[in-house]
């Protein structure tokens, strides 16, 4: 038994390094999407103290909108642009209708409000686009669907072109977001508001502008993750679950840490894949990816209540 847990898995890794590489790669693909989603959460939490329950449904909503617009005969890339427009309108509406009237309310009220947004988007999505599953317009968007086979150490490593595209696009988006946050005035405004509310007001930062911006960023993230995940799993309300994976990422990375979200996302993506393949499938009958991340996060929280990167104890949420 001890051998099965502590020795055999590592022996397997060493015996078949090409397969280990395959597992790591697949973990990375999920991980970078988790990181993106978690980043959206963190930006919204830092600037408005809302734990954005609606992030998951935003992924579904963005994917549904994209597919729905395309189904109306609109070319794929124009549909993408229009979907971005819809996400922007959504961000403005959320700020006007939900956030602005609720300024200064307790965190729990804001959390309830984000549940309200979720229910609204579920209802709205079903009424407009119908509840049945749809197929992501992967080919129409020019996303390659073949694969490349490599032979490291004489072994076998299969890289889906879809996955490569996802990793490249998601990494580029993360990099662009980091550059935006660190090297532009609007980005500084977003970070500043997360650090100190009063001081932010004193330097002329408008809460409303920042809120619209962070919700729009969350919308862009929702669209990208919606396309990436939808291309593998189809477009349905089940896509929502990818956003719930952000929860353990946030527990691990800390609710307020941008770096924590990115590293936490990658870490969870990779670790849950490793665990599934080397421990879950042989020992636990598989399907551990649904719960592993949560257990890992709880375990970390036992020792570091502030998360791996959090600087202070999170008393919100």
Partner 1 sequence: MKDTEGYVTADGRQIGGVLMELNNITLKFGGVTAISDISFDIHEGEIRAIIGPNGAGKSSMLNIISGFYTPTIGELWYKGEKRPQMRPYEIARMGVARTFQNIALFEGMTVLDNVMTGRLTHMHAGVAAQALWYGKARAEEIANREIVEKVIDFLEIQSIRKTPVGRLPYGLKKRVELARALAAEPSILLLDEPMAGMNVEEKEDMSRFILDVNDEFGTTICLIEHDMGVVMDLSDRVVVMDYGKKIGDGPPDEVRNNQDVIDAYLGVPS
Q: Which residues ranging from 216 to 235 are in contact with partner 1 (CB under 8 A)?
A: 216
Residue 217 φ/ψ, nearest 5 degrees: -60, -45
109 forms beta bridges with: none
CB 115 within 8 A of CB 213: no
Q: Which residues ranging from 11 to 70 are in contact with partner 1 (CB under 8 A)?
A: none
Q: Which one of 56-64, 94-102, 204-212, 239-247 is the stretch in contact with partner 1 (CB under 8 A)? A: 204-212
- Output the six-digit token pair for 134: 């749809």
89 binds partner 1 (CB under 8 A): no
Q: Which one of 6-14, 108-116, 188-196, 283-291 is the stretch in contact with partner 1 (CB under 8 A)? A: 188-196
199 binds partner 1 (CB under 8 A): yes
What are the E-state strand segments in the chain? 147-150, 157-160
For partner 1, the binding residue among 196, 287, 291, 304 (CB under 8 A) is: 196
**CA 112 vs CA 52, 121, 283, 315: distances in Å:** 10, 14, 40, 17
Q: Which residue number, 49 or 232, has a Cβ lying nearer to partner 1?
A: 49
CB 63 within 8 A of CB 223: yes
- Cβ-Cβ contacts under 8 Å for 43 (sequence gap 6 or more): 190, 194, 214, 217, 218, 258
Q: Which one of 202-210, 230-238, 247-255, 294-302 is the stretch in contact with partner 1 (CB under 8 A)? A: 202-210
For partner 1, the binding residue among 154, 185, 302, 303 (CB under 8 A) is: 185
Dist. CA 235–CA 62, nearest whole Å: 10
For partner 1, the binding residue among 162, 213, 214, 227 (CB under 8 A) is: 213
Shortest gap between Cβ of 147 and partner 1 (angstroms)?
34
Q: Which residue number, 141 or 207, has a Cβ lying nearer to partner 1?
A: 207
CB 25 within 8 A of CB 240: no
Q: Using CB under 8 A as the criterion, which residues of the chain lie in contact with partner 1 when the complex forms? A: 180, 182-186, 188-189, 191-192, 194-196, 198-207, 209, 212-213, 216
């Amino acid at each position: 038994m001890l051998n099965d847990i502590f020795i055999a898995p590592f022996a397997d890794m060493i015996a078949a390094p090409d397969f280990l590489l395959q597992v790591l790669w697949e973990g990375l693909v999920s991980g970078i999407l988790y990181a993106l989603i978690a980043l959206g959460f963190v930006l919204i939490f830092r600037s408005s103290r809302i734990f954005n329950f609606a992030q998951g449904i935003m992924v579904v909503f963005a994917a549904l909108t994209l597919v729905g617009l395309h189904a109306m005969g609109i070319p794929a890339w124009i549909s993408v642009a229009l979907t971005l427009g819809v996400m922007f309108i959504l961000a403005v509406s959320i700020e006007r209708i939900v956030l602005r009237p609720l300024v200064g309310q307790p965190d729990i009220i804001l959390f309830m409000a984000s549940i309200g947004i979720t229910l609204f988007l579920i209802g709205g999505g079903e009424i407009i686009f119908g509840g049945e599953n749809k197929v992501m317009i992967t080919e129409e968007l020019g996303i390659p669907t073949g694969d490349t086979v490599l032979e490291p150490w004489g072994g076998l490593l299969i890289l889906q072109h879809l996955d490569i595209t996802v990793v490249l696009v998601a990494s580029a988006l993360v990099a662009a977001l980091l550059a935006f946050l660190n090297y532009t005035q609007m980005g500084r405004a977003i970070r500043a508001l997360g650090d100190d509310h009063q001081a932010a007001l004193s330097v002329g930062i408008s809460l409303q502008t920042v809120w619209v911006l962070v919700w729009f960023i969350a919308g862009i993230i929702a669209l990208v993750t919606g396309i990436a995940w939808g291309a593998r799993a189809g477009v349905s309300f089940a896509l929502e679950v990818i956003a719930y994976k952000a929860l353990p990422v946030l527990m691990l990375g800390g609710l307020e840490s941008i770096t924590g979200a990115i590293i936490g996302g990658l870490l969870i993506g990779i670790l849950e894949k490793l665990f599934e393949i080397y421990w879950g499938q042989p020992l636990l009958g598989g399907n551990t990816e649904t719960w592993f991340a949560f257990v890992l996060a709880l375990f970390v929280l036992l020792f570091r209540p502030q998360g791996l990167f959090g600087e202070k104890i999170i008393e919100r949420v």
